[in-house]
Amino acid sequence: MIFSGKTFWITGAASGMGRSVALELANFKVRLIVSDRNRDGLEALAREIEQKGSTVRVEPLDMTDTPSIFSTTQKIITDGEKIAGLYQFAGISQRSLVVETPLENDRKIMEVNFFGAVALAKAVLPHMIENGGGQFAATSSLVGKFGFPYRSAYSSSKHALHGFFESLLAENARYNISISMLIPGRVQTNISRFALNKDGSEHGQMDPGQANGITAEKAAKLIVRGLKKEQKEVWVGGKEMLMLHVRRFLPALYYRLARTIKPM
């Protein structure tokens, strides 16, 4: 992937990894479309992007609003934007046991993390094919590769993304479509603060492990490097990423370790 002079659409751009990736890409003199529910955060980001010499278009977007996803995409395309990459970071996590999590929480998490990402990809895909190709990046998670306590719906939504985007690639690689699944471990973002507790309230605090993770800025550098190489999976984190090898090569050890996680 050559970034310079191309247009990239980033969701979840007002904070965390989405924001940091937008700023990292701005160094390549690109055109960015940035989306999030937080308009003020987007406007602040836009000013920083312009200071780096890239151009930006602000498009507030709620990933649970499917009609808005399609109408916003159509507006962008009608305005003549040529989207070379769609990089999706919007998401919501949880902090609750399976036995205590109401189904409405499972549905809410799936709506944001899976159906929202799928809807936007479906809206953009025909445009990319028509324009000779493009790159999709979807944010999975370390627990998108294996189950984990207190993350049942979150983990499920991230597993589902792998199935969808790998299928999308298999069907559309001949049209010069590529995908990168972003697999962050512990990154210092607000995702744990806004995670859903069993009663649907916000968790309100950063997990200790996450607080000791890599910065969003370092994560962005790893992500952009992986996107440039068009890696199918981009691992983003520290020593916790070793769990991917444990799960693959020592599954019995993984099952034992997973049972030792302390209650939230």
Tell me which residues are annotated as active site: 154
Q: How far is CA 155 from CA 118, 145, 151, in A?
A: 16, 8, 6
Q: What angle do CA 125, 128, 132 make, to 5 degrees?
A: 140
What secondary structure letter does DSSP report for 99? G
45 phi and psi angles, rounded to 5 deg: -60, -45
Helix/strand/coil for 189 = coil
Helix/strand/coil for 79 = coil
10 phi and psi angles, rounded to 5 deg: -120, 125
- What token pair was written down for 264? 């939230």
- What token pair was written down for 194? 């806004």
